[in-house]
Amino acid sequence: MTAATNFLAVDLGASSGRVMLGRWDGVRFDIQELHRFPNQPVTIHSHIHWDVLRLWHEIKAGMARYAARFDAPLAGIGVDTWGVDFALLDRAGRLLGNPYTYRDTRTDGILARVFARVPRQDVFARTGIQIMSINTLCQLMSMAGDPQLDGAATLLTMPDLFHYWLTGNKVVEYTNATTTQMYDPRKRGWATDLLDRLGLPTRILPPIVEPGALLGEVLPDVASEVGLRAPAPVIVPASHDTASAVAAIPALDERSAYISSGTWSLVGVETPQPILSDAALALNVTNEGGVGGTIRLLKNVAGLWLMQESQRQWQREGTAYSWEELLAQAELAEPFRGLIDPDAEDFLHAGDIPALVRAFCRNTGQPIPESVGAVVRCCLESLALKYRWVIEALERVANVRIETIRIVGGGGQNQLLCQFTADACGRLVVAGPVEATALGNVMVQAIATGHLPDIAAGRRAIAASVSQRSFEPAARGAWDVAFGRFVDLLVV
């Protein structure tokens, strides 16, 4: 029997991180969690930052757990994270302050300043990225006159910061570069002319590398600290977590849409080329880079954040509900009592989401969801209806017909949301794999090391490695009526 080949996937999300062991036996992947840790932003003087030094400590702790448990050398290690956020380094490669989170209020109102210099349609034409104040472009615009930006020598997106600390090499990986709204998908490089028009420094932008690039080996001091006994190559995966998740979706084809479901829901289709049409601009979609030369045509939708932040609010009020308890109460609540636009600005920042949900319903003349179950059901039904609205719009923009919706990530475990999605959209929903991001990370590493020939073979291997669950649509009439109500509430 052939010995398994071992890879480490460091997968950092907006609320937690994991160091995952991915084992390839020549036929299937096996994923094990070695180390899980919280990713808790820190507020300082009303601004919200990522605690990147704590995250770096936890990454090394996960590597140490591997070294303590396994003698086999690592075939690769790669990091993926959320997009748009970044770190600034000085000329000596030192961190210039803790990076801000995309939910920080410093970008409130910033789009008006951007469009005063470069029209909205020009920004989209150059980058193909959804217009959102959280994008890296807007974050940099908010730093005009900031000493950190003035003194910066290098910008690294979040996974690239950790790759730099692992190897000493400063690069930005392609899929994450595309999330910044500073990348030109047609010339496949930084949109330096756009940045010049906005007065943003281009000197801080490092080289871009493709998924699967060998960045180097783990630095000797890091390897010694964590106990690695053999050189460990650092292989850049699709370092944007959604890109890794989409790469891992079995049977994703031209008749499938995907939903990468976590704190955010990324709803999209895979296309061979970016779509930069007027219709795409009007829909405010995004053209992000994928693995194997693909484009992820998608729209960001507020995802399980609504439930996560509601859960935190109820805990602050004295009741710690489990996810199972919240979903059980939602299932018993009255259907379609009130609906929200999950992407209304009301819900972007941390706070009392249940109160904001009630206020939205009150202000739009709807019955107010008072109970815990009613609030959760309102959020889940509204998410499912927003998925329908986005998928129908993507069909028009990309000129495709979607028959199957493939849900990956943690939201695939939320059976109530999966069934609501099938019912609202009137299409088959296939959920799984839950660990799509880690699987995609490991799969790209395995392609880079020659253990797999390409992404198609990788997706077949993942299909053989995981279980999936199907949800057939039902109760269409009630959902069609609710959809008509929902569209009238949208803040497009």
Mean pLDDT of the chain: 96
**Which residues, including other chains, have CB under 8 Å from residue 147's CB and lie 6 or more apart?**
none
- Which of helix, strand or coil describes residue 117? helix
The whole-angstrom separation of Cα 180 and Cα 178 is 6
What is the arithmetic mean of pLDDT over 170-182?
A: 98
Smallest CA-to-CA distance from 102 within 89, 114, 86 is with 86
Smallest CA-to-CA distance from 162 within 55, 3, 307 is with 55
What is the arithmetic mean of pLDDT over 178-202?
A: 96
Q: Are 409 and 387 in contact (CB under 8 A)?
A: no
Residue 476 has pLDDT above 90, yes or no: no
Q: What is the pLDDT of residues 364-420, one digit of tens each?
A: 999 999 999 999 999 999 999 999 999 999 999 999 999 999 999 989 999 999 999
What is the pairing mode between strands 5-12 and 76-80? parallel
* pLDDT of res. 34: 98
- Which of helix, strand or coil describes residue 334? coil
Residue 128 DSSP class: -
Residue 1 pLDDT class (50, 70, 90 cuts): very low
Q: Please state, as a whole number, how many other Cβ atoms lie within 10 Å of the Cβ of residue 231.
A: 12
DSSP bridge pairs for 156: 87
What is the arithmetic mean of pLDDT over 102-119?
A: 96
Tokens of residue 156, six digits? 């690294």
Residue 349 has pLDDT above 90, yes or no: no
Residue 492 pLDDT class (50, 70, 90 cuts): low
The secondary element (H helix, E strand) that includes residue 234 is: strand 233-235
* pLDDT of res. 2: 55
Residue 120 has pLDDT above 70, yes or no: yes
Tell me what percent of the residues of the chain surpass a pLDDT of 90: 94
CB-based burial, 152-169: b 16+ in 10 Å, e otherwise: bbbbbbbbbbbbbbbbeb
pTM of the model: 0.91
Smallest CA-to-CA distance from 49 within 148, 183, 129, 164 is with 148
The whole-angstrom separation of Cα 154 and Cα 110 is 23
Residue 3 has pLDDT above 80, yes or no: no
Instruction: Please classify residue 368 by burial: count the beta carbons closer than 10 Å to its beta carbon, then call 0-12 exposed, 13-18 middle and 19+ buried.
Output: middle
Q: What is the pLDDT of residues 28-61, one digit of tens each?
A: 999 999 999 999 999 999 999 999 999 999 999 9
Ordered domains of the chain (ranges, CATH): 5-235 (3.30.420.40), 249-432+453-492 (3.30.420.40)
Q: Are 22 and 29 in contact (CB under 8 A)?
A: yes
The catalytic site residues sit at 241
Tell me what percent of the residues of the chain surpass a pLDDT of 70: 99
Smallest CA-to-CA distance from 300 within 378, 215, 373, 241 is with 241
| Terminal alpha carbon distance of the chain | 56
Residue 30 DSSP class: E
Q: Please state, as a whole number, how many other Cβ atoms lie within 10 Å of the Cβ of residue 70.
A: 13
Residue 194 has pLDDT above 70, yes or no: yes
What is the arithmetic mean of pLDDT over 282-300?
A: 94
What is the arithmetic mean of pLDDT over 65-82?
A: 97
The secondary element (H helix, E strand) that includes residue 228 is: none
Q: Are 306 and 353 in contact (CB under 8 A)?
A: yes
Tokens of residue 86, six digits? 């970044």
Compute and round to an integer the Cα radius of gyration of the chain: 22
The whole-angstrom separation of Cα 432 and Cα 250 is 9
What is the arithmetic mean of pLDDT over 464-475?
A: 95
Residue type, 314: W
The whole-angstrom separation of Cα 378 and Cα 137 is 33
* pLDDT of res. 18: 97
Q: What is the pLDDT of residues 420-452, one digit of tens each?
A: 999 999 999 999 999 999 999 999 999 999 999
Backbone angles phi and psi of 205, in degrees to 5: -90, 120
* pLDDT of res. 262: 87
